């Protein structure tokens, strides 16, 4: 049997303030978490899969998708302010102990970013085969929400976020392109994950995504946008 190099972790804790039970809410008749599971299943040649949750419903998804149930996530790692790194480290150590092996790398697929191209993840595996990159993160261009245009309140005054004295009135097209993490794919070598205590290494490859692949469901508006794009098949 081919030894799988990566551990794919899909985190899905119970509770959500922006969208209630968003990991399990149905979109086009399919629970949100199932989209990420379906992507992970396309990568089974490369990955072992772990569903990380404190929610009792996760057992049903493990059985349905023939994924080994490794136990519920502890409560101290299932709070609103729990750090993703701690969750991933917990699941990695538990799985490696159970399997008596060390993985080469970790793939994190957050259920809140359901639209993914599995071929791009496979490309990511190949990128991490090089010695130059130690991690990969998907990003999206910020567009009109450029930091040169952003403001903050300093006491009662509205001032530039970047602490520049002069107002930048350049058209958006003339500003340097700036990107934000999309949340869709985090891929990192195990050694870098442990060394830097982060899902982003020191030699990170940025994979640019567009359209529906960039939708990260945090609010009802995000959910409405995704449903609209899926309904009209405007994925990109």
Question: Averaged over 18-24, what is the pLDDT?
Answer: 84
DSSP-derived secondary structure letter, 213: G
Task: Return d(Cα 176, Cα 9) in angstroms, integer.
Answer: 34
What is the pLDDT confidence band of residue 57, given thresholds at 50, 70 and 90?
A: very high
Q: Which residue has the higher pLDDT, 2 or 200?
A: 200
- Report the C-alpha gap between 115 and 117 in whole angstroms: 7
pLDDT tens, residue by residue, 81-115: 899 999 999 999 999 999 999 999 999 999 999 99
Tokens 């300093």 appear where?
154
Say which residue the tokens 């917990």 belong to: 90
Q: How many Cβ atoms sit within 10 Å of the Cβ of residue 204?
A: 19
> If you average pLDDT over residues 139-144, what whole number do you get?
93
User: Is the distance from CB of 144 to CB of 172 less than 8 angstroms?
Assistant: yes
The CA distance from 233 to 111, in Å, is 20
Backbone dihedral region of 104: left (phi > 0), alpha (psi from -120 to 50 degrees) or beta? Answer: alpha
Sign of the dihedral defined by the CA atoms of residues 136, 137, 142, 145, in that order: negative
Q: Judge whether residue 2 has pLDDT over 60.
A: no
Round to whole Å and give the CA distance between 153 and 232: 40
Give the confidence band of 232 by pLDDT, cuts at 50, 70, 90.
Answer: low
Handedness of CA 132, 138, 144, 148 (dihedral sign): negative
Checking if the pLDDT of 48 tops 90, the result is yes
Instruction: State the pLDDT at residue 8.
Output: 98
Inform me whether the pLDDT recorded for 214 exceeds 70: yes
Identify the residue with better confidence: 30 or 229.
Answer: 30
pLDDT of residue 126: 95
Half-sphere CA count of 144, side-chain side, radius 13 A: 0
Nearby residues of 59 by Cβ (< 8 Å), 6 or more positions away: 69
Indicate if the pLDDT at residue 1 is higher than 50: no
Measure the CA–CA gap between 160 and 166, rounded to whole angstroms. Answer: 9
- Percent over 70 (pLDDT), the chain: 96
Confidence at 53, pLDDT banded by 50, 70, 90: very high
- Contact (CB, 8 A) for 90 and 106: no
CA distances from 217 to 110, 119, 127, 154 (A): 10, 22, 28, 30
Query: Average per-residue pLDDT in the chain?
Result: 92
Helix (H, G, I), strand (E, B) or coil at 62: helix
Q: Which domains does the chain have, with CATH numbers?
A: 6-138+183-231 (3.90.550.10), 143-177 (no CATH)
pLDDT of residue 112: 94
pLDDT for 235 beyond 70 = no
Q: What is the pTM of this model?
A: 0.91
């Amino acid at each position: 049997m081919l030894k799988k190099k990566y551990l794919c972790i899909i985190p899905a804790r119970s509770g959500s303030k922006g969208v209630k039970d968003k990991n399990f809410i149905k979109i086009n008749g399919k629970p949100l978490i199932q989209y990420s599971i379906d992507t992970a299943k396309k990568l089974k040649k490369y990955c072992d899969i772990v569903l990380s949750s404190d929610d009792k419903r996760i057992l049903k998804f493990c059985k349905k998708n023939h994924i080994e149930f490794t136990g519920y996530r502890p409560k101290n790692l299932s709070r609103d302010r729990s750090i993703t790194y701690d969750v991933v480290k917990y699941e990695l150590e538990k799985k490696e102990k159970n399997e008596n092996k060390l993985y080469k790398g970790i793939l994190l697929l957050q259920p809140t970013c359901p639209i993914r191209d599995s071929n791009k993840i496979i490309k990511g595996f190949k990128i991490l085969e090089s010695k130059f990159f130690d991690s990969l993160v998907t990003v999206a261009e910020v567009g009109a929400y450029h930091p040169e245009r952003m403001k903050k309140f300093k006491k009662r005054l509205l001032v530039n976020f970047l602490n520049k004295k002069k107002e930048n009135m350049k058209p958006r097209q003339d500003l340097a392109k700036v990107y934000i993490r999309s949340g869709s794919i985090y891929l990192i070598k195990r050694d870098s994950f442990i060394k830097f205590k982060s899902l982003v290494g020191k030699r990170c490859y940025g994979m640019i995504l567009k359209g529906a692949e960039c939708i990260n469901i945090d609010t009802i508006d995000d959910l409405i946008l995704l449903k609209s794009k899926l309904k009209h098949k405007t994925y990109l």
